[in-house]
Structure 1
Amino acid sequence: MARRKPLVVVTRKLPDIVETRMRELFDARLNVDDVPMDAAQLAEAVRVADVLVPTVTDRIDSALLSHAGENLRLIASFSNGIDHIDVASALNRGITVTNTPAVLTEDTADLTMALILAVPRRLTEGAQVLGGGEEEWSGWSPTWMLGRRIWGKRLGIIGMGRIGQAVARRARAFGLQIHYHNRRPLPHAIEEALEATYWESLDQMLARMDIVSVNCPHTPATYHLLSARRLKLLKRDAYVVNTARGEVIDENALIRMLEAGEIAGAGLDVFEHEPAVSPKLVRLAKQGKVVLLPHMGSATLEGRIDMGEKVIVNIKTFMDGHRPPDRVLPSML
């Protein structure tokens, strides 16, 4: 008799090629309408599934896991970050957690670099002028739409993991001087290749940077890492870019500084209370003080397919009785 295929519940619509492969390998229950599951639907999913495939929009906390059925043994998250999952609670219940690391590095770094360019060079403001904005373009002028030069500026990267290093490689090509703060210094060979300066003190680094890029994960230790006090350390002509997680920055404090002109601008792809975006940020965007993007840092077709392939490998490996390659442990948080 053929072995029963595991019931795999997928919480959101994934690329067709990924879903098709899942249907071939597993008893996959798909979300073809892509409507986010509510709490009751998620509770039912963890009750019946052998494997749950959530995304960053699903809150997998201890309360939800209390509904887990005895068959749920794997949460194979379609995500790089795992701050939406209570990993410790899952492991206490004998549920393995996996994620999809290392496939979104280049895509996220590309978008980070795009924001590093877009904010000082006022790219969205310029695009709006030709796209039906309030201001009408009357032709080139020596003093119109002046931004700030990128070349020669100091970039301070917070979090020098895979994405931070990929940002540094791109930024060097644009003539930026690379500085970084990390839990520990990079190996000397990597630091030398990136011509990067390590700062043990985040406070000291922030006070000296022209542009700050947030590229660290959201953990209890990094919640509001850029607090109101730390944001005050920035120079008035400095810019902040965040493509990591909104919770790393005290968003209200950042808004107050932008409104008061205490910081030159910001480029944000993530927000503290997603999917809600502060109306104050939207107003600041219309004023040209901030560039806002709808959490699209990793949004490439290639990246999403790579993520799906990792999810499939993790499920298949686990179901074959082996340790999945992308297992998440509390020590990694």
Structure 2
Amino acid sequence: MAKETNKPAAVAGAKEMETWNMMQMLAFTIFGALIATLVSARYSNPVAGPHAPVHALEASNVKILSFDPFIAHISNFVSEAERKHLLELGSVRPFVPYTSTSKTNPCISPLLTSSTVAGAPSTLRTSSTAFLPPSDPVVAALALRAAAFQGFLDPLDIDVQITSYNPGQEYKHHYDWYPSATPAGKNRLSTFFAILKSSCRDCGTEFPFFNATLHSQYTSAWCDVLDCTKELLTSLNVEGSALFWINLNPDGSGRRDMYHAGLPAAGGEKVGLNIWSEIDVGEVVKRGLFGGWSRKWWRPEEEWLEAVGLA
């Protein structure tokens, strides 16, 4: 009889243990999923923080405009959330015309200052600019993105500068490369110019040494990123997109055909992002970014082709 009396209690205990085991399994499953998510996010995005990048570049986003020199258009290079953060970081306010009664110009933030050329004010460049802090998570993410795009360059060699054009402001034709390497032996290997926001007309980036009249004849899709009404290669300001180009020759000297201009902001404003890869010129050659070690493989000459029976 004692056994019969204790049977319900034993059954209840077994059910309680079964329920407890199921709760443990559920808890461990949830905890494991959380850890897996955190680990995945950490290693898929090396830049931690609340403003970490939410997207990665895809091959379909890149459209080549020119093979030599290399110029490409990259769509969705800067996400909408990143653009908003960068505008706040640079404190770029909507344009308000300056009046003599204003104590300060409300469209210029403390971070932004008048642009310079070679460290000095110039009528060539009338915008306002600011180098953004590399410690900021979004700035760091963009530097990492730009470095990875170019074959895993060092993100520490990437400079990120916000540039704000009020109506009528411009950057006349110029080069991004330095006439000679810096004391550290560096020069600007490449440039990304991304659009954070734009409300102006006819205010893209113009490359006067490139004829773009045939792009739209092959496919009208180019007219989504290029100004198809112009003979010269001129980009449209597509928010979030970027142009990328190479500034240097194989020997580290500047390419003279990479002359370009930020056209005047007509009837509106433009806020862009300059992302420059300032790299040791010697590294450009050593890494084989423009070819291999051997000159004959790098740029085979006619005599060599004859010697191997290829001429």
Query: TM-score band (shorter)?
Result: under 0.3
Hey, which of these two has a bigger chunk of strand by percent? 2
Hey, which of these two has a bigger chunk of helix by percent? 1
Structure possessing the higher radius of gyration over alpha carbons: 2
TM-score (norm 2): 0.21
Select the structure with the greater relative contact order (CA < 8 A; seq sep ≥ 6): 2
TM-score (norm 1): 0.20
